[in-house]
Amino acid sequence: RGMASQKVHAPVGLADRRKSIPRIIPRQVDIADIYDVDLASCIGAGAYGKVYRGKHKEEGTQVALKVVPKTKMNAREMSALLKEISMLAFLEHPHIVHFYDAFEGANVFFIVTEEAKGGELFEQICERKVFTELDARRLMRCLINILVYFGLPCFPTGGPPRHQA
């Protein structure tokens, strides 16, 4: 999703969000019945698992599949993962990847989201030879938009800072 989006989403207080977040329990199905997963195309990795490209068999939608082995998690971490799944299912913002589904296999969890084709922000900044003021402005607009969406204060009272010439 482009960084130039100007729409600001209405903030909702974090306390209100926490009360209304539904508990999402991953479904127990065979992921291969629904998605083609390309295990040769790892597009990301973290402390608990890897992310692969996939495609919904019926709809043809390109997705990212986060594969999290249960063996790497203790009970607290498993609870945190289930909370992450519930949060992802609840969020709806143009600058946050869209959650599609979650599945539980015998030894792994699968989290299915929209594939963010832009890559990591840090990598994008490092790869550019020039990061212009316009680029920075667009990036900051997106980040502030997300903070507003979460109901977090972005500026001290008095509004955004103004550049004095």
Q: Which residue numbers belong to the known binding site for ATP?
A: 66
In terms of C-beta density within 10 A (0-12 exposed, 13-18 middle, 19 or more buried), how is residue 108 classed?
middle
DSSP assignment string, 22-64: -----B-S-GGGTEEEEEEEEEEE-SS-EEEEEEETTT--EEE
How many CB atoms lie under 10 A from the CB of residue 73?
Answer: 17
Spatial contact of 142 and 5, defined as CB atoms under 8 Å apart: yes
Q: Which structure tokens are listed for 3?
A: 């960084």
Distance CA 87, CA 111 (A): 12
Distance of CA 100 to the CA centre of its chain: 11
Which residues are annotated binding-site positions? 66
Backbone φ and ψ for 67, nearest 5 degrees, come out as: -110, 115
